[in-house]
Amino acid sequence: MTIGSIPKTVAGFEKDLRQLKNNAHIHTYLKNIPLQTLAHIFKTSEVTAELLAPVLQAFNEHGLSAANCKHTAEFLLTWSKTSNFEMTLMFIDDKERKILADVAAALKSNHKELYDKYYAAFASAM
């Protein structure tokens, strides 16, 4: 498994995340996954709180800059369309809620056009 690999299944995605313990590596891995691929592999699967947590942590450390926050929001918006995502958001902790709010703040400053979509999808969790 390399940072540049693209998962074909949710199980592959989960396995890759477990192997990439460093948040910088996780962020690079996430940026390499086309959003269409992400939507496809999670089409019939749920994003669990256990899966969301390391992704949010990687985005918190490396995905809030002006250069990266657009991808961060698009990635999370893609996931927000998965089955039962609202339920997943009910189980996240305060630290993860703050990360979602920090993404919103970065978007508001740098990508107003995405901010409204993001806020609509995540307001209940922030």
Residue ranges of domains in the chain:
10-125
Rounded-to-10 torsion of CA 17, 22, 32, 67: 140
46-69: burial string, b at 16+ Cβ within 10 Å, e else: ebebebbbbbbbbbbebbbeeebb
- % the chain with pLDDT above 70: 98
CB distance 107 to 118 below 8 Å: yes
* Predicted TM-score of the model (pTM): 0.90
Q: 3-state DSSP call for residue 55?
A: helix
DSSP 6: -
pLDDT at 24: 87
DSSP conformation class of 8: S
Q: Is the dihedral of CA 54, 56, 82, 85 positive or negative?
A: positive
pLDDT digits (tens, 9 = 90+) for 62-113: 999 988 999 999 999 999 999 889 889 988 999 999 999 999 999 998 888 8
Mean pLDDT for the stretch of residues 41-46: 90
pLDDT at 1 over 60: no
